[in-house]
Structure 1
Amino acid sequence: MPLISVYLRKGASPEFRRSLAGAIKTAFIGVLKLPDDDYNQVTFELDPENMIYDPNFFGEARSEKMILISMSFNHRSAELKAQLFEAVAKNVVEAVGIRIQDVMMNIVETARENWWAYGRTVNRDSGFDSRMVDAPT
C-alpha cells in the first residue's frame, strides 16, 4: 500500500499529471509486484518560489521542470529499491518527456503495521497484502 507524493511547479496539464502517475504506477506494479489497485498518489503543484533547489545539484543542471517523487512503503531490499528508482526514472522520462536530470526521488520506509485501509488483508507470513503471492522483499 504505497503512498506516492509528487511535487512539481504549477501549470502542468491534467494529461501530464495522469501520464506521470501512470508511469510511476507501472514501475511499482512491475518491480514491487503490487496488485493493480494498490496505488495511491497525491500531486502537489507549487508556485515557483516554493520549489527551492540548487539548479546544479550534484553538478547536473536542473531545470524549472524538475519534479520530486517521494515514495512511502514497507521495507524492501537495497537491490529492489535501486530497480524501482531506475524503472520510475525511465518510465517518467518516456511518459512525460522531461530530462532524467529533472527527476529526483526518495523513499521513506515504514513498518508494515503502520498502514491501514478498510478491506485490507495481510498475509501473516510475509506481512504484505494477501493478494501479493510472489512479492519481492
Structure 2
Amino acid sequence: MPFVEIYLRKGKTPGFRKAVSAAVHESMREVFQIPEDDLFHVVHDMEPDDILQAPTFAGVERSVDSVFIRMTFNHRPPAQKAALFEAIADRVTSATGMRREDVLMTVLETAAENWWVQGRIIDPETGFDTRMSPEAVRAGRVG
C-alpha cells in the first residue's frame, strides 16, 4: 500500500493534479506491480512562498513550477527505486509538459508491519498484500 504525497504550488488545474497522480500510480503499477486499486495519494496545494528551493541544485536550474513527490512504501532494492524514479519522471513530463528538472522525488521506506487498512490481507511470510503474485514477491517487485 504505497502512500504518495504530491506538493505543488497553488494554481495548478485539477487536470494537472490528476495527471501527476496518475503518472505516479501507473509507474508504481509497472515497477512494483501493485494492484490497480492500491491508490492512496494526497495532493497538497501550497502557497507559492511555502515551497522553498534553491534555483540551482547540482548544477541544474529548477523553476517555480517544481513538483515534489514523497512516496512511502516497504523496503525495495536500490535498482527498483531507480527504475521507479525514471518511470515517474518520464510519465509526469509526458503527461504534463513539465520539465524533467522540475520533478523532485523522495522515498520513505517503512516496515510492512507499519501499514494497516481494513480489508487488506497481508501474507505473514512475505509481508506483502496477498493479491500480489508469488513471483513478483520473490523478485522484490511488489508493494
- Compute the TM-score of the two structures, normalised by the length of structure 1: 0.97
- Tell me the SS of whatever aligns to 2:58: helix
**How far apart are the structure 2 equivalents of 1:52 and 1:81?**
25
Where does structure 1 differ by over 4 angstroms across 4 or more consecutive aligned residues?
Answer: none
Query: What is the correspondence of 1:92-131 to structure 2 with a 5 Å cutoff?
Result: 92-131=92-131
Shift of 1:115: 0.3
Aligned equivalents of 1:19, 1:49: Cα separation in 2: 24
Identity over aligned residues, as a percent?
41
Match of 1:108, SS?
strand
Amino acid at match of 1:132: M
Partner of 1:62: 62
Q: What are structure 2's unaligned runs of at least 5 residues?
A: none
**How many angstroms does 1:47 deviate by?**
0.8
Match of 1:85 in 2: 85
> Within 2, Cα distance between the matches of 1:18 and 1:116?
25
Indicate the residue corresponding to 1:8 in structure 2.
8
CA-CA distance at 1:109 after TM superposition: 0.1
Post-superposition shift, 1:54?
0.1
Equivalent-residue separation in structure 2 for 1:19 and 1:67 (angstroms): 12
RMSD: 0.8
Residues of 1 paired with 2:125 and 2:13: CA distance?
43
Post-superposition CA distance 1:60-118 (Å, at most 9, x none): 11011101000000001011001001001111000111000000000000010000000
Partner amino acid for 2:68? L
Q: Supply the distance in 2 between the matched residues of 1:55 and 1:102 (Cα, whole angstroms).
A: 10
2: CA distance, partners of 1:48 / 1:19:
20
| Structure 1 residue 57: Cα displacement | 1.3
2:51 match: 51
| Pairs aligned (count) | 137
